[in-house]
Amino acid sequence: MIKLVDNIDREEVVWRYMDLFKFVSMLENNALFFTKASIFDDDFEGSLPKINHANRKHLYNEKYNRVSELNKALKEFTCVSCWHLDTHESEAMWKLYSDNKMGIAIKTTMGNLIDCFKAVEDDIYLAKVRYVDYENDYINIDEDRELYYYKRDIYESENEIRLVHSKNEDMVYGHFIECDLNKMINEVYVLGHDIEVIREAVLKGSYSFEVKSSILNKIPVF
C-alpha cells in the first residue's frame, strides 16, 4: 500500500514518460516497473550532502566506513518509479525519455496513483522530490530510505514525484509491482508511433483508458 510522505492534492496531474518496450511490458505484466537505484544515471542517488556526511562521520568515528558501505549497498535494494508533476505534456520530458522522437506518456492524478496500489501489501512510499544544494544544504532524515526523496538542485526542472520501494533480494534492473492499470492510467499519449497499433495493444489487454496523439505530432500551418 502507498504511504504518503507529503500532504498531496489528489487532483494534481502526474506523468510518466517511457519507450514503447517499457509500455508494452507494463501492459503484459499489469504492473509498474520499479528501477533499482544503483543503475540510475545520477551517481548521487542515495548519497549524503557534504554537511550530513561530515556530521555522520563525526557521530560514528571509526565505524563510519562500515556505515558508509551499508548506505551505498542500500542502492542495490531500493527501487524507484519516477513521475513528472505537470498539468500538460512537457517537451523537455519527451526529449529526456523518448527515443528518436518516439515514445509513450502516461497521464494520471496523484489520487489514482495512490488508489491503484491498494491491493499491494508491501509499503510503497510516495514523496515529492526535494531539490537541494549538496555542497551547502543540510537535510533532516530519520531513515536512509529518505535520501531517495532528495536530488541535487540542478534537476529541479524535473519536478519529480517518486514511488520508493525496498526489496531484499538480488535484482538485475529492478522489479514489477502488480497494480490496477485501469485505475492508474487516465490517458496514454503517443509520440511518433502508429497510434492504432497502440490502441490495439490496449484493447487486447482489456484496458479501458484512452489513447491520444501527443501534441508534438501536430504539423504547423502557415
State pLDDT tens for residues 163-183.
999 998 899 999 999 999 999
Rounded Cα–Cα distance for residues 180 and 81 (Å): 16
Q: How confident is the model at residue 149 (pLDDT cuts 50, 70, 90)?
A: very high
State pLDDT tens for residues 126-142.
999 999 999 999 999 98
> What value does the CA radius of gyration of the chain take, rounded to a whole number of Å?
19
Query: Does 13 fall in a domain?
Result: yes
Domain tally for the chain?
Answer: 1
Full domain range(s) for residue 167: 2-217
CB 125 within 8 A of CB 146: no
CA 155 to chain centre: 14
CB 191 within 8 A of CB 103: yes
Q: Which residues are CB-contacts of 106 (< 8 A; sequence separation ≥ 6)?
A: 15, 16, 17, 18, 23, 184, 185, 187, 188, 189
State pLDDT tens for residues 38-51.
999 999 999 999 99
Matching residue, cell 490496477: 180
CB 96 within 8 A of CB 50: no
Give the model's pLDDT for residue 99.
80
Kindly state the percentage of the chain with pLDDT values over 70: 100
DSSP state of 216: G
Query: Does 18 fall in a domain?
Result: yes
Query: Does 192 fall in a domain?
Result: yes
Which of these, 72, 2, 5, 20, lies nearest to 195 by C-alpha position? 20
Query: Does 222 fall in a domain?
Result: no
Query: Does 212 fall in a domain?
Result: yes
Query: Does 41 fall in a domain?
Result: yes
Query: Does 43 fall in a domain?
Result: yes
